[in-house]
């Protein structure tokens, strides 16, 4: 089992609210990622990080933002949630020399 | 956001038979490939990987084949078991883009008892 944790597992929130999805890993991995996945669909990379104070946008445009102040922590924030943000958000991490990514359980977000 | 769109292609196999799941990748510059298994309600889990300097790699009950000429990847599962039922994704990493894995669209494997 990989040591990467996401909270909450499920979140239902009203439109306009600010939310932060938490992701932590205890493996000391430099690289971390956020993917968005709709039910029955593929994963789309929305953010990634090489290490502390490094963040980049992924291939799928997202209104979310991320920060990487500590190696182990890579939170994702939505300033104003909308129904179009309803999806599953998956966090992953990997070591610098290895592209294999370990995934968390995901956060299923529903915006009503 | 939520999308009522295409469903994943589904492969249905009899328990004990071999399964072959296929994937077409997009970028000829990709040099590293991974197969992931995703069970319902969970994140993807690593199964097996292969580098572009190889055309075959074997693991426990699984084999990955890479055909760079036609940009095709396959996952073979021997003696498929009910616990193999899941969605399977291939992912590619492009040379020079060492921090990004790009995922394919996935295949749902259903194992009939």
Which own/partner contact pairs does A28-31 have at CB distance under 8 Å and 24+ positions apart?
A28/A71, A28/A72, A29/A71, A29/A93, A29/A94, A29/A95, A29/A102, A30/A71, A30/A94, A30/A95, A30/A96, A31/A93, A31/A94, A31/A95, A31/A96, A31/A101, A31/B99
Tell whether A63 is within 8 A of chain B (Cβ).
no
pLDDT value for B4: 33
pLDDT tier for residue A99 given thresholds of 50, 70 and 90: low
**Residue A104 phi, psi dihedral angles, 5° rounding:** -80, 180
| Among the partner residues B2, B7, B103, nearest to A43 by beta-carbon distance | B103
Mean pLDDT, residues A52-78 = 93
Rounded mean pLDDT of chain B? 88
Contact A31 B99 (CB under 8 A): yes
Tell whether A31 is within 8 A of chain B (Cβ).
yes
Interface test with B, best of A3, A30, A34, A41 (most B CBs within 10 A): A41
B73, pLDDT greater than 60: yes
């Amino acid at each position: 089992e990989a040591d990467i944790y996401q909270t909450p597992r499920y979140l239902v929130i009203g439109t306009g609210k600010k939310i932060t999805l938490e992701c932590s890993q205890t493996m000391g991995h430099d690289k971390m990622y956020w993917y968005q996945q709709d039910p029955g669909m593929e994963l789309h990379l929305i953010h990634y990080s090489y290490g502390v104070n490094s963040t980049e946008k992924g291939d799928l445009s997202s209104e979310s933002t991320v920060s990487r102040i500590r190696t182990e922590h890579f939170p994702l924030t939505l300033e104003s949630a909308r129904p179009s943000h309803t999806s599953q958000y998956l966090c992953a991490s990997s070591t610098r020399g290895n592209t294999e990514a370990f995934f968390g359980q995901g956060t299923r977000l529903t915006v009503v | 956001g939520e999308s009522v769109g295409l469903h994943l292609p589904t492969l249905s196999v009899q328990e004990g038979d071999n399964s072959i799941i296929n994937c077409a990748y997009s970028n000829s510059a990709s040099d590293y490939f991974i197969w992931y298994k995703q069970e319902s309600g969970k994140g993807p889990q690593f199964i097996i990987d292969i580098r572009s300097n190889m055309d075959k790699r074997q693991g426990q009950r699984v084999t990955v084949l890479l055909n760079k000429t036609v940009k095709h990847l396959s996952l073979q599962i021997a003696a498929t078991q009910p616990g193999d039922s899941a969605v399977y994704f291939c992912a590619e990493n492009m040379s020079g883009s060492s921090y990004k894995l790009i995922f394919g669209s996935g295949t749902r494997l259903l194992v009939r008892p």
